Structure 1
Amino acid sequence: MKRRPRRTVPATLTALVLLAACVLITIVAIQLIMGQSSLIGYRSVTDTLHSTHWNDTAVLVAGGTLVLLGLLLLLAALLPGKPRVLPLSGDMDAGVTRRSLRHALQNTAASVDGVSRAKLKLGRRTIVARVRTDRTNTEGLTDAVRAAVDQHLDQVTPLTRPAMKVQLRTTRNAP
Protein backbone atom coordinates (compact mmCIF):
# COMPACT_ATOMS: atom_id res chain seq x y z
CA MET A 1 0.00 0.00 0.00
CA LYS A 2 1.69 3.15 -1.25
CA ARG A 3 -0.84 5.88 -1.82
CA ARG A 4 0.76 8.56 -3.94
CA PRO A 5 -0.19 12.23 -3.75
CA ARG A 6 -2.76 13.47 -6.19
CA ARG A 7 -1.68 16.00 -8.76
CA THR A 8 -4.46 18.44 -7.93
CA VAL A 9 -2.63 21.71 -8.59
CA PRO A 10 -1.53 20.97 -12.20
CA ALA A 11 -4.88 19.34 -12.97
CA THR A 12 -6.83 22.28 -11.53
CA LEU A 13 -4.76 24.87 -13.40
CA THR A 14 -5.14 22.98 -16.68
CA ALA A 15 -8.88 22.61 -16.14
CA LEU A 16 -9.28 26.32 -15.35
CA VAL A 17 -7.38 27.39 -18.48
CA LEU A 18 -9.44 25.04 -20.65
CA LEU A 19 -12.66 26.21 -18.98
CA ALA A 20 -11.78 29.86 -19.61
CA ALA A 21 -11.04 29.12 -23.28
CA CYS A 22 -14.32 27.21 -23.66
CA VAL A 23 -16.33 29.99 -22.00
CA LEU A 24 -14.72 32.61 -24.25
CA ILE A 25 -15.42 30.57 -27.39
CA THR A 26 -19.01 29.91 -26.27
CA ILE A 27 -19.65 33.62 -25.64
CA VAL A 28 -18.28 34.56 -29.05
CA ALA A 29 -20.28 31.81 -30.77
CA ILE A 30 -23.54 32.87 -29.08
CA GLN A 31 -22.91 36.50 -29.99
CA LEU A 32 -22.32 35.53 -33.63
CA ILE A 33 -25.49 33.37 -33.72
CA MET A 34 -27.57 36.20 -32.27
CA GLY A 35 -26.15 38.68 -34.79
CA GLN A 36 -24.51 40.91 -32.19
CA SER A 37 -21.02 42.30 -32.40
CA SER A 38 -18.73 39.70 -30.88
CA LEU A 39 -16.38 40.19 -27.95
CA ILE A 40 -13.46 39.15 -30.14
CA GLY A 41 -13.73 40.03 -33.80
CA TYR A 42 -13.17 37.13 -36.18
CA ARG A 43 -11.67 39.44 -38.80
CA SER A 44 -9.17 41.00 -36.34
CA VAL A 45 -8.02 37.56 -35.19
CA THR A 46 -7.51 36.28 -38.73
CA ASP A 47 -5.75 39.47 -39.84
CA THR A 48 -3.37 39.24 -36.87
CA LEU A 49 -2.64 35.56 -37.53
CA HIS A 50 -2.09 36.12 -41.27
CA SER A 51 0.35 38.97 -40.62
CA THR A 52 2.34 37.01 -38.03
CA HIS A 53 5.39 35.05 -39.21
CA TRP A 54 6.89 31.92 -37.65
CA ASN A 55 10.17 33.65 -36.85
CA ASP A 56 8.57 36.60 -35.02
CA THR A 57 9.70 37.02 -31.42
CA ALA A 58 6.16 36.82 -30.02
CA VAL A 59 5.52 33.50 -31.77
CA LEU A 60 8.83 32.01 -30.60
CA VAL A 61 8.28 33.14 -26.98
CA ALA A 62 4.69 31.85 -26.94
CA GLY A 63 5.77 28.55 -28.49
CA GLY A 64 8.64 28.10 -26.04
CA THR A 65 6.38 28.92 -23.11
CA LEU A 66 3.77 26.41 -24.23
CA VAL A 67 6.39 23.71 -24.77
CA LEU A 68 7.86 24.35 -21.30
CA LEU A 69 4.39 24.27 -19.73
CA GLY A 70 3.60 21.02 -21.52
CA LEU A 71 6.85 19.42 -20.35
CA LEU A 72 6.17 20.51 -16.75
CA LEU A 73 2.67 19.01 -16.88
CA LEU A 74 4.07 15.81 -18.39
CA LEU A 75 6.73 15.55 -15.68
CA ALA A 76 4.12 16.19 -12.98
CA ALA A 77 2.04 13.35 -14.40
CA LEU A 78 4.86 10.84 -14.85
CA LEU A 79 7.19 11.35 -11.88
CA PRO A 80 6.01 9.78 -8.65
CA GLY A 81 5.71 11.99 -5.61
CA LYS A 82 6.40 11.09 -2.02
CA PRO A 83 3.99 8.45 -0.84
CA ARG A 84 1.42 9.77 1.63
CA VAL A 85 0.93 6.42 3.31
CA LEU A 86 3.96 4.36 4.26
CA PRO A 87 3.38 0.61 4.29
CA LEU A 88 3.94 -1.33 7.49
CA SER A 89 5.62 -4.72 7.61
CA GLY A 90 3.51 -7.71 8.47
CA ASP A 91 0.88 -9.93 6.93
CA MET A 92 -1.86 -7.30 6.81
CA ASP A 93 -2.13 -4.54 4.24
CA ALA A 94 -1.68 -1.62 6.62
CA GLY A 95 0.03 1.73 6.53
CA VAL A 96 0.72 4.92 8.43
CA THR A 97 0.55 8.43 7.05
CA ARG A 98 3.79 10.34 6.79
CA ARG A 99 2.34 13.17 8.83
CA SER A 100 1.25 11.04 11.77
CA LEU A 101 4.55 9.13 11.80
CA ARG A 102 6.49 12.40 11.76
CA HIS A 103 4.44 13.83 14.65
CA ALA A 104 4.76 10.64 16.70
CA LEU A 105 8.53 10.48 16.20
CA GLN A 106 8.87 14.21 16.92
CA ASN A 107 6.98 13.78 20.21
CA THR A 108 9.18 10.82 21.06
CA ALA A 109 12.34 12.84 20.43
CA ALA A 110 10.98 15.78 22.45
CA SER A 111 10.18 13.52 25.41
CA VAL A 112 13.82 12.53 25.92
CA ASP A 113 15.24 13.96 29.16
CA GLY A 114 17.28 17.08 28.40
CA VAL A 115 15.59 17.95 25.10
CA SER A 116 13.85 21.31 25.17
CA ARG A 117 12.60 21.24 21.57
CA ALA A 118 12.68 18.77 18.72
CA LYS A 119 11.81 19.12 15.05
CA LEU A 120 11.77 16.14 12.77
CA LYS A 121 11.97 15.94 9.00
CA LEU A 122 10.87 12.68 7.42
CA GLY A 123 12.46 12.26 4.00
CA ARG A 124 12.18 9.39 1.54
CA ARG A 125 15.07 7.43 3.03
CA THR A 126 16.22 9.47 6.03
CA ILE A 127 14.91 10.95 9.24
CA VAL A 128 16.60 14.15 10.36
CA ALA A 129 15.94 15.15 13.98
CA ARG A 130 16.94 18.68 14.95
CA VAL A 131 17.15 18.72 18.72
CA ARG A 132 17.68 21.73 20.97
CA THR A 133 18.78 21.48 24.58
CA ASP A 134 19.44 23.83 27.50
CA ARG A 135 22.15 21.58 28.93
CA THR A 136 25.79 22.52 28.87
CA ASN A 137 26.89 18.89 28.97
CA THR A 138 25.36 17.23 25.92
CA GLU A 139 27.27 13.99 26.12
CA GLY A 140 25.09 11.04 25.16
CA LEU A 141 22.03 13.13 24.28
CA THR A 142 22.14 12.38 20.56
CA ASP A 143 22.44 8.66 21.34
CA ALA A 144 19.45 8.88 23.69
CA VAL A 145 17.33 10.62 21.03
CA ARG A 146 18.42 8.09 18.40
CA ALA A 147 17.59 5.18 20.73
CA ALA A 148 14.15 6.60 21.59
CA VAL A 149 13.24 7.17 17.94
CA ASP A 150 14.61 3.73 16.98
CA GLN A 151 12.52 2.12 19.73
CA HIS A 152 9.41 3.87 18.45
CA LEU A 153 10.21 2.75 14.90
CA ASP A 154 10.55 -0.81 16.21
CA GLN A 155 7.01 -0.56 17.55
CA VAL A 156 5.59 0.91 14.34
CA THR A 157 7.61 -1.42 12.03
CA PRO A 158 7.63 0.40 8.69
CA LEU A 159 8.35 -1.78 5.66
CA THR A 160 11.51 0.20 4.81
CA ARG A 161 13.35 1.61 7.78
CA PRO A 162 14.79 5.08 7.14
CA ALA A 163 18.30 6.04 8.25
CA MET A 164 18.48 8.29 11.30
CA LYS A 165 20.45 11.54 11.64
CA VAL A 166 20.40 13.67 14.79
CA GLN A 167 21.51 17.31 14.81
CA LEU A 168 22.03 18.78 18.29
CA ARG A 169 22.08 22.46 19.19
CA THR A 170 22.57 24.01 22.56
CA THR A 171 21.04 27.26 23.72
CA ARG A 172 23.67 27.87 26.37
CA ASN A 173 27.39 28.25 25.94
CA ALA A 174 29.56 25.62 27.56
CA PRO A 175 31.89 26.93 30.33
Structure 2
Amino acid sequence: MTSPPFNLSNTEMNYVAYKILFVCMGNICRSPTAEAVFQKRLADHDLLHRIKVDSAGTHNFHPNAPPDERSQAHARKRGYDLSHLRARPVVDSDFEEFDLLLTMDWDNRALLEDRCPAQHTHKIRGFAEFLQTTQASVIPDPYYGEDPGFEQVLDLIEEASDGLLKFIITKAQA
Protein backbone atom coordinates (compact mmCIF):
# COMPACT_ATOMS: atom_id res chain seq x y z
CA MET A 1 0.00 0.00 0.00
CA THR A 2 1.30 3.45 -0.87
CA SER A 3 1.40 6.19 1.71
CA PRO A 4 -1.27 8.90 1.64
CA PRO A 5 -0.50 11.86 -0.64
CA PHE A 6 -1.00 14.25 2.30
CA ASN A 7 -0.89 14.24 6.05
CA LEU A 8 -3.60 15.55 8.36
CA SER A 9 -3.84 15.07 12.09
CA ASN A 10 -7.09 14.24 13.86
CA THR A 11 -6.86 17.57 15.64
CA GLU A 12 -7.04 19.41 12.35
CA MET A 13 -10.14 17.46 11.30
CA ASN A 14 -12.05 17.68 14.59
CA TYR A 15 -14.28 20.50 13.39
CA VAL A 16 -15.22 18.92 10.06
CA ALA A 17 -18.48 17.06 9.53
CA TYR A 18 -19.26 16.29 5.91
CA LYS A 19 -21.82 14.12 4.12
CA ILE A 20 -21.33 12.74 0.63
CA LEU A 21 -23.82 10.84 -1.54
CA PHE A 22 -22.57 8.97 -4.60
CA VAL A 23 -25.23 8.63 -7.30
CA CYS A 24 -25.55 6.44 -10.39
CA MET A 25 -28.59 5.02 -12.18
CA GLY A 26 -29.48 1.82 -10.31
CA ASN A 27 -27.13 1.97 -7.31
CA ILE A 28 -25.69 -1.49 -8.00
CA CYS A 29 -22.40 -0.81 -9.85
CA ARG A 30 -20.70 2.59 -9.79
CA SER A 31 -22.14 4.36 -6.77
CA PRO A 32 -21.79 1.47 -4.29
CA THR A 33 -18.26 0.93 -5.60
CA ALA A 34 -17.51 4.61 -5.00
CA GLU A 35 -19.04 4.38 -1.51
CA ALA A 36 -16.85 1.42 -0.56
CA VAL A 37 -13.65 2.82 -2.09
CA PHE A 38 -14.12 6.20 -0.46
CA GLN A 39 -14.97 4.64 2.91
CA LYS A 40 -11.70 2.72 2.73
CA ARG A 41 -9.84 5.96 1.94
CA LEU A 42 -11.48 7.57 4.96
CA ALA A 43 -10.61 4.60 7.18
CA ASP A 44 -7.00 4.72 5.98
CA HIS A 45 -6.86 8.36 7.13
CA ASP A 46 -8.85 7.83 10.35
CA LEU A 47 -11.67 10.03 9.07
CA LEU A 48 -14.65 7.67 9.12
CA HIS A 49 -15.93 9.33 12.28
CA ARG A 50 -16.04 12.76 10.59
CA ILE A 51 -17.39 12.07 7.10
CA LYS A 52 -20.59 10.21 6.26
CA VAL A 53 -20.75 8.40 2.94
CA ASP A 54 -23.74 6.79 1.23
CA SER A 55 -24.88 5.89 -2.27
CA ALA A 56 -28.17 5.90 -4.15
CA GLY A 57 -29.64 5.58 -7.61
CA THR A 58 -31.66 7.94 -9.77
CA HIS A 59 -33.93 4.97 -10.54
CA ASN A 60 -35.38 2.42 -8.14
CA PHE A 61 -34.65 -0.55 -10.42
CA HIS A 62 -33.12 -2.76 -7.70
CA PRO A 63 -34.66 -1.88 -4.32
CA ASN A 64 -32.58 -3.25 -1.44
CA ALA A 65 -30.51 -5.42 -3.81
CA PRO A 66 -26.81 -6.01 -3.20
CA PRO A 67 -24.32 -4.59 -5.70
CA ASP A 68 -23.87 -6.40 -9.00
CA GLU A 69 -21.82 -9.59 -8.54
CA ARG A 70 -19.26 -8.40 -11.10
CA SER A 71 -18.76 -5.13 -9.24
CA GLN A 72 -18.32 -7.04 -6.01
CA ALA A 73 -15.86 -9.51 -7.53
CA HIS A 74 -13.64 -6.85 -9.09
CA ALA A 75 -13.75 -4.68 -5.97
CA ARG A 76 -12.92 -7.66 -3.74
CA LYS A 77 -9.73 -8.28 -5.77
CA ARG A 78 -8.61 -4.79 -4.75
CA GLY A 79 -9.57 -5.15 -1.11
CA TYR A 80 -13.00 -3.48 -1.10
CA ASP A 81 -16.08 -5.12 0.39
CA LEU A 82 -19.40 -4.16 -1.20
CA SER A 83 -21.39 -7.11 0.14
CA HIS A 84 -23.09 -5.19 2.96
CA LEU A 85 -24.37 -2.38 0.69
CA ARG A 86 -27.95 -2.31 -0.60
CA ALA A 87 -29.50 -0.32 -3.43
CA ARG A 88 -31.80 2.54 -2.70
CA PRO A 89 -33.20 5.44 -4.71
CA VAL A 90 -32.37 9.08 -4.15
CA VAL A 91 -35.06 10.57 -1.90
CA ASP A 92 -36.04 14.21 -1.50
CA SER A 93 -34.40 14.52 1.92
CA ASP A 94 -31.00 13.63 0.38
CA PHE A 95 -30.80 17.10 -1.17
CA GLU A 96 -30.93 18.71 2.24
CA GLU A 97 -28.97 16.11 4.21
CA PHE A 98 -25.87 15.76 2.03
CA ASP A 99 -23.18 18.37 1.43
CA LEU A 100 -22.19 16.83 -1.91
CA LEU A 101 -24.20 14.69 -4.31
CA LEU A 102 -21.66 13.25 -6.73
CA THR A 103 -23.05 11.88 -9.97
CA MET A 104 -21.35 9.31 -12.15
CA ASP A 105 -22.53 10.65 -15.52
CA TRP A 106 -24.40 13.48 -17.24
CA ASP A 107 -27.76 11.67 -17.21
CA ASN A 108 -27.53 11.13 -13.45
CA ARG A 109 -26.65 14.78 -13.00
CA ALA A 110 -29.51 16.04 -15.17
CA LEU A 111 -32.02 13.86 -13.32
CA LEU A 112 -30.82 15.13 -9.94
CA GLU A 113 -30.80 18.74 -11.06
CA ASP A 114 -34.39 18.39 -12.29
CA ARG A 115 -35.51 17.15 -8.86
CA CYS A 116 -33.31 19.30 -6.67
CA PRO A 117 -34.69 22.33 -4.82
CA ALA A 118 -32.97 25.49 -6.11
CA GLN A 119 -31.21 26.20 -2.82
CA HIS A 120 -29.34 22.87 -3.02
CA THR A 121 -28.30 22.67 -6.69
CA HIS A 122 -24.78 23.85 -5.81
CA LYS A 123 -24.27 20.51 -4.00
CA ILE A 124 -24.57 18.48 -7.22
CA ARG A 125 -21.27 17.77 -8.97
CA GLY A 126 -19.81 15.13 -11.20
CA PHE A 127 -17.55 12.65 -9.44
CA ALA A 128 -15.19 12.76 -12.45
CA GLU A 129 -14.43 16.41 -11.56
CA PHE A 130 -12.17 15.01 -8.85
CA LEU A 131 -9.99 12.97 -11.20
CA GLN A 132 -6.43 14.17 -10.79
CA THR A 133 -4.68 13.06 -13.95
CA THR A 134 -7.14 11.09 -16.08
CA GLN A 135 -9.09 13.14 -18.59
CA ALA A 136 -12.66 11.83 -18.34
CA SER A 137 -15.92 13.70 -17.88
CA VAL A 138 -17.86 10.74 -16.47
CA ILE A 139 -17.47 7.43 -14.69
CA PRO A 140 -18.87 5.10 -17.40
CA ASP A 141 -21.53 2.50 -16.66
CA PRO A 142 -19.97 -0.99 -16.85
CA TYR A 143 -23.28 -2.85 -16.44
CA TYR A 144 -23.72 -3.99 -20.04
CA GLY A 145 -20.01 -4.53 -20.67
CA GLU A 146 -17.29 -7.01 -19.87
CA ASP A 147 -14.61 -7.29 -17.16
CA PRO A 148 -12.36 -4.49 -18.51
CA GLY A 149 -15.18 -2.00 -17.96
CA PHE A 150 -15.42 -2.87 -14.27
CA GLU A 151 -11.65 -2.51 -13.92
CA GLN A 152 -11.74 0.88 -15.66
CA VAL A 153 -14.50 2.03 -13.31
CA LEU A 154 -12.44 0.98 -10.29
CA ASP A 155 -9.38 2.82 -11.65
CA LEU A 156 -11.41 6.01 -12.13
CA ILE A 157 -13.16 5.73 -8.78
CA GLU A 158 -9.88 5.18 -6.91
CA GLU A 159 -8.33 8.22 -8.58
CA ALA A 160 -11.41 10.42 -8.06
CA SER A 161 -11.59 9.28 -4.42
CA ASP A 162 -8.06 10.52 -3.84
CA GLY A 163 -8.96 13.85 -5.45
CA LEU A 164 -12.15 14.12 -3.41
CA LEU A 165 -10.28 13.46 -0.19
CA LYS A 166 -7.79 16.21 -1.05
CA PHE A 167 -10.68 18.57 -1.84
CA ILE A 168 -12.37 17.92 1.50
CA ILE A 169 -9.19 18.33 3.50
CA THR A 170 -8.26 21.53 1.65
CA LYS A 171 -11.75 22.89 2.29
CA ALA A 172 -11.46 22.00 5.99
CA GLN A 173 -8.12 23.77 6.30
CA ALA A 174 -9.33 26.95 4.58
- TM-score, normalised to structure 1, is 0.24
Larger radius of gyration, structure 1 or 2? 1
Question: Between Structure 1 and Structure 2, which shows a larger proportion of strand residues?
Answer: 1
- TM-score, normalised to structure 2, is 0.24
Tell which has more relative contact order, 1 or 2 (C-alpha 8 A, sep 6+): 2
